[in-house]
Structure 1
């Protein structure tokens, strides 16, 4: 993977993670780095799921693939926020 690919993955991961975080109700006590990491994983998994449904490469913007990615990011943010939110900070 080239440096451009890594930078693109970080940018797309940040966008997907932020959109997924917007879908989750309430406050999430996770950092932006964790949100980006969840977004990157969700983007990769969403692309895989879209390829399973044979909707990965369509003409124009791949809205269905984007929907899979954002929903998976919302699920990931919920899981991570739920597990990180249970830590005792005292």
Structure 2
């Protein structure tokens, strides 16, 4: 998956995660994309360990895994802050 695909996956999953976990998050499009990209790494790591696969394409399964990771990242980020 190329870097442009990672950015698109990050933007989509970051938007969905911020919708699912509402809160006083600032930032804009870049921060949302970073949340999604980090979420894709977290979700891919967890998904690989439990046998779901990883976020390695721009399809529904990868977006779901990335959203799960982004939600986990947002919750941990808010607890840490």
Q: TM-score, normalised by structure 1?
A: 0.65
Match of 1:32 in 2: 29
2:42 to 42, 45, 49: 45
Which of structure 1's runs of 4+ aligned residues deviate more than 3 A? none
Compare the two structures and name the one with the higher helix fraction: 2
**Separation of aligned partners in 2, 1:38 and 1:61:** 18
Superposition CA RMSD, Å: 2.7
Cα displacement string for residues 2-50 of structure 1 (whole angstroms, at most 9, x for unaligned residues): xx70000000000010110001124422221011011001112211111
The answer to whether the Cα contact below 8 Å between 2:37 and 2:66 also exists between their aligned partners in 1 is: no
Given the alignment of the two structures, is residue 18 of structure 1 paired with residue 15 of structure 2, yes or no? yes
Gaps of 5+ in 2: none
Q: TM-score, normalised by structure 2?
A: 0.71
Q: Could you say what secondary structure the match of 1:25 adopts? A: coil
Match of 1:77 in 2: 74
